[in-house]
Amino acid sequence: MHEPSARRPLKVRDVKMVNTFARYLSSKNITPNQISVASVFFAALSAGCFLLFAKYEHWWLLILAGLFIQCRLLCNLFDGMVAVEGGKSTKSGELFNDIPDRVADPLILVSAGYAIHVVGYGGEIGWCAGLLAVMTAYIRTLSASMGAPVDFKGPMAKQHRMAIMTFACIFAAGEIVILKTDYALVVALILICFGCVITCMRRTISAYRFLEA
């Protein structure tokens, strides 16, 4: 969303280096929509690393997966900053702001589930996490379309999900080297599932109370 009142509150936007790079991007022939689409590209790279890890179990693939997750988040950060602070917002910006996220989340979470070796139901956990992640966003956008305030509350908003997955990649990489297991991925996806359920409930209750009031 490109209106300041409808943006996800992020303190990192106030960091000088982040603002400097956002101004640099704004000065180039780069649109916010292109940056948004690039987030899907990095999510796909992360998914590819997870799937390769499922086959070859190389620890460094997990590190790469975590790195691409952070690249995806940087795209999510800079598309909004280039649009708003850089004055490049477009009428179609909302489509490009939201749809790529609905693709990127399941790409990362589902593939992470299939990367798990220590249990036989990793894929199911991944799909559950991916669908619940989409559900949190669906409730937010549905509530806003009905007139309720845009609600980014957690405990498992996008940045929280991706932070957990990034740390899980790091811990799982060390786990593979030392113990030859990847329980960190299992724990991370289960946490995301439970956190997304709570997030869905909180956002639904907030919207209900506002609309009924």
Locate the domains of the chain by residue range: 4-212
Average pLDDT for the chain? 92
Half-sphere exposure of 180 (CA within 13 A, CB side): 0
Low-confidence ranges of the chain (pLDDT < 50): 1-5
Q: Which token pair is 32? A: 């916010």
Q: How many residues does the chain have?
A: 213
Domain 4-212 sits in which CATH superfamily?
Answer: CDP-alcohol phosphotransferase transmembrane (TM) domain (1.20.120.1760)
pTM > 0.85: yes or no: yes
3-22 burial, b if ≥16 CB within 10 A, otherwise e? eeeebeebeebeeeebeebb
Position 14 scores a pLDDT of 72
List alpha helices for the chain, DSSP H: 16-27, 32-56, 59-84, 93-114, 122-145, 158-179, 183-212
Burial of 147 (0-12, 13-18, 19+ CB in 10 A): exposed
Position 42 scores a pLDDT of 98
Say if residues 134 and 102 touch (Cβ distance below 8 Å). Answer: yes
Model confidence over 119-134: pLDDT tens digits? 999 999 999 999 999 9
Position 3 scores a pLDDT of 45
DSSP label at residue 180:
S
If you search the block for the tokens 């946490």, which residue do you land on?
191
Burial of 198 (0-12, 13-18, 19+ CB in 10 A): middle
DSSP label at residue 87:
T
Q: Considering only CA atoms, which of 43, 25, 157 is closest in space to residue 100?
A: 43
Q: Considering only CA atoms, which of 174, 166, 192 is closest in space to residue 66?
A: 166
Q: Residue 140 to residues 74, 113, 198: CA-CA distances in angstroms? A: 22, 25, 13
Position 89 scores a pLDDT of 82
Radius of gyration of the chain (CA): 18
